[in-house]
Amino acid sequence: MKVSIITAVYNGADTIAATLDSVARQDHAEIEHIVVDGASSDATLSTVAAHGRRVARIISEPDSGVYDAFNKGLRAASGEAIAFLNCGDSYSSTASLSTMVSELSRDGTQAVFGDVWIVDAEDPSRVVRRYSSRRFAPRRMRWGIMPAHPTLLLRRDVYRAAGEYDTQFRIAGDYEFCLRAFALRATRYRYISEALVRMPRGGLSNRGWRSKLQITREMQLACAKHGVRTNFAMLSLRFPLKMLELI
């Protein structure tokens, strides 16, 4: 199964090498790695040239945010399955992708996902939290529970049915897409009880209380848009669950 891995980046010269190297080390043979760069002004492109041994295509031009970059990658992808591994994120082992593909290859499976190690940005060897997708079920999305997007591997037909990422969202576009893919459609999925990806702490949705407030508001907007009954308080209940994941 050919897998397209899409990496969105903007001025990520200091962190993208880890992402590129982790893709290059994967033991799955058929990989199409697409890097979507938002016209970086640092050494991002030279770093991609030095470390992108399995990069098949580079798109470098201004964009309107990470979800615009995701959509550009989707349009360029030719794989039977599609994954997103953002700048700074890395696969936990050389077999992470092949494990995901093995599960996706089972009859009728359209999506697989697992867990994420959240690591210290300054010391990537130190695990801070395990973001678990174990509690996910489509009916629980109204409570803010969703699959760990960095581990999500979807068959191409899921994107054909659900559509692209909605660029009106700044940091909850992956949640809104998962609403369409899982809560509004009967996408058949499997959960892998493994930490498949390592992600540095401090991403768009984890930059203090202001980002938590914004993403919760965006999640509420996404639910309202698709007729999913919820409220701000219900969506906020996911935060105590995250506290239980601290290591």
Residue 80 confidence class, pLDDT cut points 50, 70, 90: very high
Residue 244 confidence class, pLDDT cut points 50, 70, 90: confident
pLDDT of residue 203: 59
pLDDT of residue 240: 81
Reply yes or no on whether the pLDDT at 246 is more than 90: no
DSSP assignment of 1-38, as one string?
A: --EEEEEEESS-TTTHHHHHHHHHT---S-EEEEEEE-
Distance from the first to the final alpha carbon of the chain? 35
For the ranges 22-26, 72-76, 202-206, the lowest mean pLDDT is seen at: 202-206
Q: CA 91 → CA 64, 187, 206, distances in Å?
A: 27, 24, 20
Query: In this predicted model, what pLDDT tens digit does every residue of 149-161 receive, in sequence order?
Result: 999 999 999 999 9
Q: Are 67 and 169 in contact (CB under 8 A)?
A: yes
Task: Calculate the average pLDDT of the chain.
Answer: 95
Comparing CA positions, the residue from 109, 101, 120, 143 lying closest to residue 241 is: 143
Query: In this predicted model, what pLDDT tens digit does every residue of 152-185 receive, in sequence order?
Result: 999 999 999 999 999 999 999 999 999 999 999 9
Phi-psi region of 227 (alpha: psi -120 to 50; beta: other; left: phi over 0): left
Q: Which residues pair with 81 in a beta bridge?
A: 3, 155
Q: What are phi and psi of 242, to 5 degrees?
A: -65, -35
What the block records as the tokens of 130 is 């395990």
Query: In this predicted model, what pLDDT tens digit does every residue of 40-68 receive, in sequence order?
Result: 999 999 999 999 999 999 999 999 999 99
Query: In this predicted model, what pLDDT tens digit does every residue of 198-209 receive, in sequence order?
Result: 999 975 555 566
Give the domains, in start order, of the chain with CATH numbers: 3-243 (3.90.550.10)
Q: Are 73 and 79 in contact (CB under 8 A)?
A: no
Rounded to the nearest 10 degrees, the angle between the axes of helix 44-51 and helix 16-24 is 20
By three-state DSSP, how is residue 83 classified?
A: strand
Reply yes or no on whether the pLDDT at 242 is more than 90: no
- Separation of alpha carbons 57 and 59, rounded Å: 7
Q: Are 81 and 154 in contact (CB under 8 A)?
A: yes
Mean pLDDT calculated for residue range 106-116: 97
